Structure formats: C-alpha cells, structure tokens
Amino acid sequence: MQRVILSSFLIGVLFGIGLLVAGMANPAKVLAFLDLAGAWDPSLALVMGGAIAVGLIAFRLAGQRKVSVLGEPMRLPTRRDIDRRLVFGSLGFGVGWGLAGFCPGPALVAFGALEAKAMVFVVAMLVGMAAFELMERRSASR
C-alpha cells in the first residue's frame, strides 16, 4: 500500500511536469488551440498524440495482466454503452474548458504555481464536484 501511495505521488509530479513541458498548464495556449477561426496553434494536438502513442502500448500491456506490478487489481473500465450522462457531461465540460482554458489537471498544476486565478477556478471546480455528489446522493435516496 505504501508503495502505491508513493508511486501515485511520483506519477502526479511526472504528469504535472508533462503538462508544464507541453504548454497545457497555460490557458492562453489551450485557448489558442481551441480557436480554430483565429490564429490557430495546433501544438496541443501533438500533446494528445504523444500521450496516446505511449498510452496505446501501456494499455495493451495492461490488458494482458491479471494484477498490477505492485499487486493491485487491474481496474480497467468495462463499460461500452453510450448514455445520456456521458454525452451531456462531456458537452458541458467542453463549454467550461473553452470559457477559461482550464481542464482539471492543468488547473491543479497552475494552483500549485500559486496563481490566484487558478486557485479561484480550482475552488469553483471542487464546489461543482461536491454539488454533483450531493445531487447523486439526493437522487439515490429518493
């Protein structure tokens, strides 16, 4: 368990450094990618490409394992249905992403860079996540 916690921490640092190297922690660069009709910066397509190139190999290897290297169960998602929640949630996420140029990972990294605006975004995001959990609990108890 301790090794899982330590590796999770180091993976978080690596992920955050990847976002900083890629330029994704910078909302202005993200918005320049999303601005197809303006002066378009295609860089972020290559971020996705680079990540998926590595990910394709990793998840192929992961699919062949019964337990993880550290002995944890492999929690690979199994759902394949396209439901309303997936579609509407994702559509809504894109609107929020396009408004400020922040998605959750880069916002947490910018929070760690002590950017006041990122801190406001992160607090609002956590409130939004908590609101979701409250709505879920209310609909479950009904």
Residue list 92-111, contact with other proteins (CB under 8 A): 92-105, 107-111
Least Å distance, CB 46 to other proteins, is 4
How far apart CA 41 and CA 35 sit, in angstroms, is: 8
Q: Which is nearer to other proteins, 47 or 142 (CB)?
A: 47
Confirm or reject binding of residue 133 to other proteins (CB under 8 A): yes
Least Å distance, CB 64 to other proteins, is 11
Confirm or reject binding of residue 122 to other proteins (CB under 8 A): yes
Least Å distance, CB 38 to other proteins, is 6
Residues sharing a CB contact under 8 Å with residue 28, sequence separation 6 or more, in sequence order: 101
Least Å distance, CB 107 to other proteins, is 8
How far apart CA 24 and CA 37 sit, in angstroms, is: 20
Residue 120: how many CB atoms within 10 A of its CB?
13
Q: Long-range CB contacts (< 8 A, 24+ apart) of 12-18?
A: 15/105, 16/105, 16/108, 16/109, 16/112, 18/51
Q: At what angle do helices 27-34 and 43-63 cross, to 10 degrees?
A: 100
Residue list 4-43, contact with other proteins (CB under 8 A): 4-29, 31-32, 34-43
Residue list 49-88, contact with other proteins (CB under 8 A): 49-59, 61-62, 65, 67-70, 72-77, 79-82, 85-88
